[in-house]
Structure 1
Amino acid sequence: MPVPQVVIVGRPNVGKSSILNWQAGKLVSVVDPTAGVTRDRVKYLMNEGDRYFELVDTGGIGIVDADDLSEDIERQIQMAIDEATLILFVVDGNTGVTPLDKVVAERLRKLDKPKLLVVNKCDSTKTDLEVAEFYGLASAPLIQTSVKANRARTDLLKQIVALLPPAAESEQEEGAELAAMPELKIAIVGRRNVGKSTFINALAEEERVIVSEIAGTTRDSVDIRFELDGKSFVAIDTPGVRKRNSLANDIEYYGLVRAQKSIRRADVVFMFFDATETISRVDKQLVDEIQQHYKPCIFVVNKWDLGLDKEMTAERWSEYLISTFATMRHVPVAFITAKESRNIKKLINLAQSIYKQARERVSTGQLNRVLKQAIELNKPPSRMNRMPKIFFATQVSTEPPTIVVKCNDPELFDDSWKRYLLGYFREELPFREVPIKVYLRGRSDEDPADESEG
């Protein structure tokens, strides 16, 4: 039996996304005064005592979307309602009952599912006497909340748990597994309209996020769990990124921030490119972000079925990427057609392979044998009338693999030789396709460290 779904519904601007973030204790869903910010279903796994449930944020019912995505948003809302175990009907305590609240109430009244009426934005007890008008909206318990004033957060959580059906024997086990299982987290990043959401839906084997030709459809970072060959994964769909000087509003700015955060919390990053387009400044910004955080990465060239009509073969595309991102030569390149689910399983298998590389740890003996071979083949040249000497090396960490090389003086090793050593380590150690950190340290730990990376 799946973990219960607690779905938050209501008209726009009643604070649904704020309630999700408030209960989660972290920024999960985009919050902005602009109506219609949330478009996809945004989920977060909650745990209260021995109960687990997923809290699901949805788009505002009745929204007229500026990008003509109203039908797509409505379909996402309906899918969430269909899957709901419990519905949180959220209204605004400041505005009172509106005609659109009544439309939402009529829609929910037909459902034979438990409901909780949440009168939000009750920042002060002065409005408590006015809450009576909301009772007519639903035959359900009522609770007053305020995210701003942190009012009734715990009470809301307790009421949710009380209204859930009795826990199935498998719920606690499944919920605990969802919370603790070593899922491989994959962030899918790229500029607008490269096919990230289409790829996510192909993985989930359902319409989990909205797909549209309109740029900027995805605004939240949406986590989608899926399984392949008995293994669990989390795909993180991120908003498409524009050039920094083209960010039109706060929604787009937070979308950029979310893409950056998704890169940081991912185990592997899929950097998407459009086979029909050239590499852009935005692509370079994202690759730079990936590199700065030493994330295992795969360059994914999507829409390959369209790109085949041009002269850019797979070999030429790979050369194009390597020449553009010279410091990322180790990154593997994959070619897919997300719309037709072509090569997707191979891509996920490749992600598992490079994640395994990032977690590898080699023995000190093996590492020093490789180090000795590197020095014998190409000794570091003398510098400042002094001969650089290396004593030993040890791997001190993984994700990324981090190697400390003890020497007489880090200042004696020039950049070209450090690049050579890094490349030799990559070729001879099980880290061929992932970033590596190499630190040169003097005899004393207090000596300044010299770092090479790639």
Structure 2
Amino acid sequence: MAIVAIVGRPNVGKSSIFNRIIGKRSAIVDDQPGVTRDRLYGEAEWGGKSFYIVDTGGIMPSEAHPFMDLIAQQVDLAIDESVVIIFVVDGRDGITPMDKQIALKLRKSGKPVILAMNKLDNQKQEEDMLYEAYELGFDTVIATSAEHNKGFDEIQDVLVTLLPEEAEIEESSDEIRVTLVGRPNVGKSSLFNAIAGEKRSMVSDIAGTTRDVVDTLVEVDGTKFRFLDTAGLRRKSKVKSDIEYYSNVRTYQAIDRCQVALVLLDAQEPVTDQDKRLIGQVLERGKGLILVMNKWDLAPKESKIGDKMRDLLIDELPFAKYAPQIFISAISGRSLHKLPEMILSVENNRKRRISTSELNRLVREVLIFERMPGDGKGRSLKIYYCTQADGAPPAFIFFVNDITLSTRPFRRHLENIIRKMGDFSGVPIKIFMRNRE
């Protein structure tokens, strides 16, 4: 998806615009200049188009605030990383010298810019300021007011006309796209380099040395794999620079682009909440999942340690218990030869289909002896028939008498039944309930 960046001085209302566009209060909104020190991003959709929206920290000269000494870097990054820029100025303050400096840099970039004149809460303010705003040299100027919920739909109407059409991924027909993701310094770049056979990513013991998504094409036994190496995903509270911030956005883009994700975990460390959230993102996006326990050469050499670690992973990650696991060393090359076959197997599982007749026969055979969920007043859920939807990951639609009688545990039970019908290891399964017309 395309990236849209919001830039401007501190306290001009960037976070308010960000929150209105993504539909929830994710950015911290405060009158203290510089309060949005970390960069926030979200996924938004308008007019049938999806995009990432980025809320950057306020831009200030270094002498005005100890945290704001990178005006050129911030604007340059917004220009480099985004396809459209929303430039926010404070309509109450008028156009300041700093606004003019930012505008000059944005005009030179040639990128589409929407100028949002914010905090214009009445008609007189709007009339007075819009003429002055056009002096900044941008064709699109929109008056906005968070207090009166004004101008935000108009911004998005214009925005989606400036977004490029989503390009078809050329390699999708005969390649399996694989993303390497994980926390910083778990060995993604070392694994990527071992797979690629050349030192494509910078490798060091300093977390976060891979900032961009790098990819390479590898062919194994006639199957082409495109491996994507990404920067380590950090918790938002640990994202301290513009470069790291945009790297996180690009990592999520790489997950969106892939078919199978290798989530690297460190054999020397316990599973963290960040690991769990990352795995959840992969599954939520419907991608194949393989858990890769790296640095296995450094693990204790006790008896049956592998079995113990597998049991521990299942305990820590019950929502991903169907994901295959592999224990490797990117440095020594241990077990790396097994990865291509595992990836191919998971991708085939993503495409696996069960015929409608077989699906209905097996489901009814199992459910006929079970008590169906109900409302406690004599009404119980009844399944008329089910079918598998087209596409990947596997999705199954159950047509029932009343979807309100369905429960989450029952849907999980249906998923478990389906998993026994075929090999769906490494693949999330979607269960949908529909009322029969």
Structures share fold, TM-score greater than 0.5? yes
Matched residue, 2:187: 195
Cα deviation for residue 310 of structure 1 reads 6.4
Is the 1:397–1:403 contact (alpha carbons within 8 Å) kept by the matching residues of 2? no
Cα deviation for residue 374 of structure 1 reads 2.1
Of 316, 319, 322 in structure 2, the residue corresponding to residue 324 of structure 1 is 316
Matched residue, 2:100: none
Matched residue, 1:296: 288
Is the 1:187–1:266 contact (alpha carbons within 8 Å) kept by the matching residues of 2? yes
When residues 261 and 149 of structure 1 are mapped into structure 2, their CA distance, relative to the original with a 3 A threshold, is closer
Cα deviation for residue 411 of structure 1 reads 1.7
Is the 1:393–1:405 contact (alpha carbons within 8 Å) kept by the matching residues of 2? yes
Matched residue, 1:148: 110
Cα deviation for residue 285 of structure 1 reads 2.2
Is the 2:399–2:435 contact (alpha carbons within 8 Å) kept by the matching residues of 1? yes
Matched residue, 1:397: 390
Is the 1:388–1:412 contact (alpha carbons within 8 Å) kept by the matching residues of 2? yes
Is the 1:374–1:421 contact (alpha carbons within 8 Å) kept by the matching residues of 2? no
Matched residue, 1:49: none
Cα deviation for residue 228 of structure 1 reads 1.1
Of 398, 402, 420 in structure 1, the residue corresponding to residue 413 of structure 2 is 420
**Equivalent position amino acid for 2:347 in 1:** Y
Cα deviation for residue 415 of structure 1 reads 2.9
Is the 1:270–1:298 contact (alpha carbons within 8 Å) kept by the matching residues of 2? yes
* Whole-Å separation in 2 of the counterparts to 1:319 and 1:436: 22
Q: What is the 5 A alignment of 1:198-213?
A: 198-213=190-205
Q: Does residue 346 of structure 2 align to residue 351 of structure 1?
A: no
Matched residue, 1:315: 307
**Equivalent position amino acid for 1:423 in 2:** N
Q: What is the 5 A alignment of 1:121-270?
A: 147-148=109-110, 179=171, 181-270=173-262
When residues 181 and 401 of structure 1 are mapped into structure 2, their CA distance, relative to the original with a 3 A threshold, is closer
Cα deviation for residue 312 of structure 1 reads 8.2
Is the 1:407–1:442 contact (alpha carbons within 8 Å) kept by the matching residues of 2? yes
When residues 272 and 33 of structure 1 are mapped into structure 2, their CA distance, relative to the original with a 3 A threshold, is farther
Is the 2:200–2:214 contact (alpha carbons within 8 Å) kept by the matching residues of 1? no
Cα deviation for residue 196 of structure 1 reads 0.5
Task: Give per-residue Cα distances to partners, 1:39-79, cap 9 Å, x unaligned.
Answer: xxxxxxxxxxxxxxxxxxxxxxxxxxxxxxxxxxxxxxxxx
When residues 250 and 432 of structure 1 are mapped into structure 2, their CA distance, relative to the original with a 3 A threshold, is same
Unaligned runs of at least 5 residues, structure 1: 1-25, 39-120, 125-145, 151-176, 445-454
When residues 271 and 222 of structure 1 are mapped into structure 2, their CA distance, relative to the original with a 3 A threshold, is same
Matched residue, 2:332: 340
**Equivalent position amino acid for 2:261 in 1:** V
Q: Does residue 354 of structure 2 align to residue 362 of structure 1?
A: yes
* Whole-Å separation in 2 of the counterparts to 1:246 and 1:296: 27
Report % sequence identity: 33
Matched residue, 1:17: none
* Whole-Å separation in 1 of the counterparts to 2:302 and 2:205: 22
Q: Does residue 435 of structure 2 align to residue 442 of structure 1?
A: yes
Cα deviation for residue 361 of structure 1 reads 1.8
Is the 1:405–1:440 contact (alpha carbons within 8 Å) kept by the matching residues of 2? yes
Matched residue, 1:450: none
When residues 33 and 276 of structure 1 are mapped into structure 2, their CA distance, relative to the original with a 3 A threshold, is farther
**Equivalent position amino acid for 1:301 in 2:** M
* Whole-Å separation in 1 of the counterparts to 2:385 and 2:170: 43
When residues 254 and 406 of structure 1 are mapped into structure 2, their CA distance, relative to the original with a 3 A threshold, is same
* Whole-Å separation in 1 of the counterparts to 2:239 and 2:303: 33
Of 426, 429, 435 in structure 2, the residue corresponding to residue 433 of structure 1 is 426
* Whole-Å separation in 2 of the counterparts to 1:319 and 1:149: 52
* Whole-Å separation in 2 of the counterparts to 1:328 and 1:181: 28
Q: Describe the SS at the equivalent of 1:213.
A: coil
**Equivalent position amino acid for 2:186 in 1:** V
Of 359, 363, 374 in structure 1, the residue corresponding to residue 366 of structure 2 is 374
Cα deviation for residue 268 of structure 1 reads 0.2
Q: Once structures 1 and 2 are overlaid, which stretch shifts more, 261-270 or 282-291? A: 282-291
Matched residue, 2:132: none
Q: Describe the SS at the equivalent of 2:420.
A: helix
When residues 33 and 287 of structure 1 are mapped into structure 2, their CA distance, relative to the original with a 3 A threshold, is farther
**Equivalent position amino acid for 2:110 in 1:** K
Aligned residues: 286
When residues 280 and 312 of structure 1 are mapped into structure 2, their CA distance, relative to the original with a 3 A threshold, is farther
Matched residue, 1:160: none
Task: Give per-residue Cα distances to partners, 1:110-147, cap 9 Å, x unaligned.
Answer: xxxxxxxxxxx9999xxxxxxxxxxxxxxxxxxxxx75
* Whole-Å separation in 2 of the counterparts to 1:405 and 1:194: 41
Is the 2:398–2:433 contact (alpha carbons within 8 Å) kept by the matching residues of 1? yes
**Equivalent position amino acid for 2:385 in 1:** F
* Whole-Å separation in 2 of the counterparts to 1:282 and 1:385: 44
**Equivalent position amino acid for 2:336 in 1:** I
Unaligned runs of at least 5 residues, structure 2: 1-50, 53-70, 78-103, 113-168
Cα deviation for residue 282 of structure 1 reads 2.0
